[in-house]
A and B are shown apart, each in its own frame.
Chain A
């Protein structure tokens, strides 16, 4: 099989769509971890967002309301985690894992009446002449709005973290909550806000699955995307730009191997399927064996409980 007949255009377009859910969830989790909180419940928040978004979109026939509801649903669930870990000081790892289990169960209950229901139709945004550009048009400018929202989100998060005072405070809380507290910043409040933002992003990512990528509700439909988003943050070594690269790389590998198979090219499917995880492990090894050590990559207070004593 030669590659000359291989149809590359749809592959590149499909890559952007396939990567959007983990990109959204990943960029949210990045902010959470930058604030020093490790929320392993991404999968649970995504699936809750998926069912909330689907249910509300069906009820109102509006994709926008669907996505907003998904963000609210994800944020509310994440605040449960927030209260438990920030106010009641429970263990973040255990609470995060529990949140995933809870989210999967809750979404199954909420979604019972939506099994087998067809989703609403969501068309691409009209970008006018841009969509007609040869090559670039079909690849970049014929997508649904959420693809562009996710890209804007990456830029906004980068700007927020690196160019604003509030972003600096958030990073300070993540690096040393004691120092931030001593300076008078409300550590718990800031962390709760970050957690809610992460939950909302995860909810959006989940709704992207149930409303656009698959368009339907099925129990357990995220099937591990939340865990991929967590791996993505580590892969990106906590940098927004790299989250984008990583998401498109992870998503791209999946679509690429499926497309190559469909085109009849012999590819080692098993290897490509596990490659995102292998790459993440490699990056982890590289980060932690680097000369400056791991401390410089991960926020220093990541996963540590904060209790104001004074």
Chain B
């Protein structure tokens, strides 16, 4: 124990000495699970990284590596980053959870931040996530108001709490404004496979669904919806996907709004704290109030009154006045889990593994 303390303080002293010796720029390093060019998840993280560079200019240097497989490879990549002088490492996928904790143990003076995870085994590991379900609530409301067939769709990736809470939030807010609405969930078991995502969208369109939201990473579902020529609509996911907002002739396209993950405020804040010495280990779960979940431009395909309602919901969530999971809400068996006016705690929300009342499908096991 004493030896460890000694080593740690030596390391700290060295770190301080280094910082004092030369005003080295702070190195912020990013580990990406996919290509920056995915147009969705990884693209948005990279925009956050670029925002850090823009905010601090010469005082920071950013480094990144794309297509890092989850598992042992990522451990090697992060070790290499720590050895090469990174001061803070952001690992941006769920599967980096154990590797990042392993590497963090070996480099106590480097800060490690893990997106969407929950393990903080060492004082230098922080976790962060976004409240995507707030965005689902808004698009769910739009879906409920705009569907003509009363069938709305959700392209789901994997049956994990993050996706299940998104489905519940989407359906809850659609059913609130349209009690006749029916939800169709299609599981594709992938985060990224444009062909399969397009097939899933096609299957739902063929079965009469006319509003689709996706929990996968590519723009393929929007491209498929575009083939319907305005009879169906969808939403941008993770990124704005503005290319589908308007057709070539200027009429509104298939993407009528979007849920944007904006990581910039968080990355800029954390790197700033690291530089001014106020950095602490945290478990952050930001949403609309922090500017991390943003609804992209609503196009004219959405009637003005619906736009106003959606904007009202955005404002209420941003102001902290409305929580998308506010009772009364019941599960599929009809048992109430939130009483009138009660809002859900983060714990049960993060472990959500059941559908709410009204959804007829079952979560695959």
Contacts and interface: CB of A to CB of B under 8 A. Distances in A.
B203 A255 contact: yes
B34 A220 contact: yes
A119 B200 contact: no
A255 B198 CA distance: 10
Contacts of B209: 262
A281 interface: no
A219 B207 contact: no
B244 A224 contact: no
B223 A215 contact: yes
A34 to B, nearest CB: 27
A260 to B, nearest CB: 8
Interface in A202-260: 209, 213-216, 218-225, 254-255, 258-259
A117 B243 contact: yes
Contact of B193 (A7, A18, A223): A223
Interface residues of A, number: 41
A167 interface: no
Nearest to A216: B223
B195 A116 contact: no
A231 to B, nearest CB: 16
B198 A118 contact: no
A119 B38 CA distance: 16
Contacts of B202: 10, 14, 255, 258
Contacts of B184: 261-262, 264
A225 B195 contact: yes
Contact of B243 (A116, A223, A259): A116
Nearest to B35: A219
Interface residues of B, number: 42
Residue among B193, B209, B244 with the most chain A CB within 10 A? B193
A11 interface: yes
Interface in B315-365: 360-362, 364
B364 A7 contact: no
B225 to A, nearest CB: 12
Given A108-B37, A111-B37, A223-B190, A218 B204 contact: no
B186 interface: yes
A14 B199 contact: yes
Interface stretch (A87-95, A178-186, A190-198, A265-273): A265-273
Given A213-B195, A254-B196, A255-B203, A269 B187 contact: yes
B37 to A, nearest CB: 4
A297 interface: no
A143 B188 CA distance: 25
Interface string B204-242: 101111000000001110011010000000000000010
Contacts of A21: 195
A43 to B, nearest CB: 13
A112 interface: yes
Interface in A1-27: 6-7, 10-11, 14, 18, 21
Nearest to A251: B199
A286 interface: no
Contact of A11 (B206, B223, B244): B206
Contacts of B189: 269-270, 273
A259 B209 CA distance: 11
B39 interface: yes
B48 interface: no
Interface in B260-305: none
A127 interface: no
Interface in B28-65: 34-35, 37-39
A118 B185 CA distance: 27
A218 B188 contact: no
A263 interface: yes
B364 A269 contact: yes
Contact of B207 (A115, A214, A263, A269): A263
A262 B204 contact: yes
A247 B200 CA distance: 18
B117 interface: no
B187 A218 contact: no
B193 A258 contact: no
Contacts of B196: 223, 254, 258
Given A111-B37, A116-B39, A259-B203, A218 B218 contact: yes
B35 A220 contact: yes
Nearest to A256: B203
A181 B190 CA distance: 47
Instruction: Return the 3 tightest CB-CB contacts between A and B, nearest first.
Output: A10-B206, A223-B193, A258-B203
Interface of B: 34-35, 37-39, 153, 184-190, 192-196, 198-200, 202-204, 206-209, 218-220, 223-224, 226, 241, 243-244, 248, 360-362, 364
Given A14-B199, A262-B203, A273-B189, 4 more contacts: A115-B37, A255-B202, A261-B184, A269-B189
22 contacts: A14-B203, A115-B39, A116-B39, A117-B243, A118-B226, A214-B194, A214-B223, A216-B220, A218-B194, A219-B38, A220-B38, A220-B192, A221-B195, A225-B195, A258-B186, A259-B203, A261-B187, A262-B200, A268-B364, A269-B187, A269-B189, A269-B364
